[in-house]
Amino acid sequence: MIDLSRSIVQVILGFSIALTATAQAPTSAPPPAGSTDEVALRAFTAIHPIDVHVHVFKTDPAFQKMLERLDLKLLNILVTDDTNPKRKDLQRQIDDAQALVQSSHGHIALCTTFDPYKFDSASFSTDAANQLDRDFAKGALAVKVWKNVGMEIKNSNGQYVMADDPKFQPIYEDIAAHGKTLMTHQAEPDVAWGPPDAADPSWSYYQENPQWYVANRPGFPSKQRILDARDHVLANHPKLRMVGVHLGSMERDLDNIASHLDKYPNFAIDTAARMEYLMLMPPEKVSAFLIKYQDRVLYGTDLDLHADADLPDALTEWQSRYARDWKFLATGETLTVEGKQVRGLNLPQPVLQKIFRSNAIRWIPGL
């Protein structure tokens, strides 16, 4: 009787494992052969793409398989966020992220960060630089400064700490001296300071994350003030390579991005989580911009893989994002974005090669 029930359990167990395996198999596989997504991903793969902006918190054989199939390399970006218990302890995040890099067979690289919540400590600058040096020695290629600098952290006088604060200078010098790259997420899209706007691609983010919606907050820094501080860093550290992520937070103003790129030769941008803004602008203008500044734009998505993520769903999301972005930049296909019909830009192959790959290698050496 005991043996019988044990073997029934084994049968059920084996059956459910088989079920799970068949349930997951299709989603870790490429999209159906001949579908527009599959065709797009094949062309994307052929360019040996690099996504310079992701947040990956776990690995999984199916995820690794997708990276290998797409011949895709990722720059995994760390931030410290005191509103998220999992992102509060930096050293633990660094240890986990280094293990992830090790297990990725060259498909994942690390962009580390320092802990700006320790700003008030007397040894903040040297502690941060020492920690970065340890991370560089273990292979970190870049350093992130997140929006909590400028929008959250205050000094002992109760003033918001800005990116050009003197305490950050030794850190920037250290990054430049090691030939590493600074990735800056400074400020937020315009809509964070403006009236509610359901038509803005970022509006849903503020509904889910109201702590970053700062309109009508008395005494809150203006967006311009935060970006001016970022620009001071560019001006004061001409040997420091900086990638302004999220289109350098100038998501509605290509002319402003262009004048920054003209003024600061050490500045480039990534497209992470702001591709929709490009998709909704006049296509001739976006094409002209991307062709003129073809050496200064890095492809990034801001895709994430959380520890509790559902793998099949995540893999579907990642692949459809890559397919969508490829169709927009590389083909003349029509896409539906925020309810509008958008024509792909059909950019020349050499420009695509730079945006999806070689700019990442030039701006973030080691990738």
| Residues making contact with Zn ion (CB under 5 A) | 302
Minimal distance, residue 53 CB to Zn ion, in Å: 6
Nearer to Zn ion, 165 or 188 (CB): 188
Minimum CB distance to Zn ion smaller for 81 or for 295: 81
CA distance 28 to 39: 17
Q: How far is the CB of 361 from Zn ion (least distance, A)?
A: 20
What distance in Å separates the CA atoms of residue 327 and residue 347, rounded to the nearest whole number? 10
Three-class DSSP category at 217? coil
CB of 110 to Zn ion, least distance (A): 14
Residue closer to Zn ion by CB (options 125, 202) is: 202
Give me the DSSP letters along 268-289: EEE-TTTHHHHHTS-HHHHHHH
Nearest partner of 309 among 82, 63, 90, judged by Cα: 63
Nearer to Zn ion, 124 or 363 (CB): 363
At closest approach, how far in Å is the CB of 187 from Zn ion? 14
CB 139 within 8 A of CB 150: no
Which stretches within the chain are classed as H helix?
2-28, 36-46, 61-69, 90-103, 124-137, 148-151, 169-177, 203-208, 223-236, 245-248, 254-263, 275-279, 283-292, 311-330, 349-353, 359-363
Evaluate whether 347 touches 329 at the Cβ level (below 8 Å). yes
CB of 116 to Zn ion, least distance (A): 16
User: What minimum distance in Å lies between the beta carbon of 26 and Zn ion?
Assistant: 29
Output the smallest distance, CB 272 to Zn ion, in A. Answer: 6
Amino acid at 288: A
Measured from the CB atom, the residue of 150 and 344 that comes closer to Zn ion is: 150
- Mapping DSSP to helix (H, G, I), strand (E, B) and coil, where does residue 229 land? helix
323 in Cβ contact with 40 (< 8 Å): yes
Say which residues have a Cβ less than 8 Å from residue 22's Cβ, sequence separation at least 6: none
- At closest approach, how far in Å is the CB of 185 from Zn ion? 6
SS3 state at 18: helix
User: How far apart (Å, rounded) are the C-alpha atoms in residues 316 and 43?
Assistant: 18
Identify which of residues 246 and 327 has a Cβ nearer to Zn ion in the complex: 246
Q: Which two tokens stand for residue 135?
A: 């991370």
What's the rounded Cα separation, in Å, for the pair 348 and 346? 7
Contact predicate 341/54, CB 8 Å? no
Task: Give the pair of three-digit tokens for residue 113.
Answer: 């960060």
Whose Cβ is closer to Zn ion: residue 305's or residue 330's? 305
Q: Which residue is nearest to Zn ion (CB)?
A: 302
Pick the closer one to Zn ion by CB: 243 or 261: 243
**At its nearest, how many Å lie between Zn ion and the CB of residue 55?**
6
Give the nearer residue to Zn ion in terms of CB position, either 115 or 302.
Answer: 302
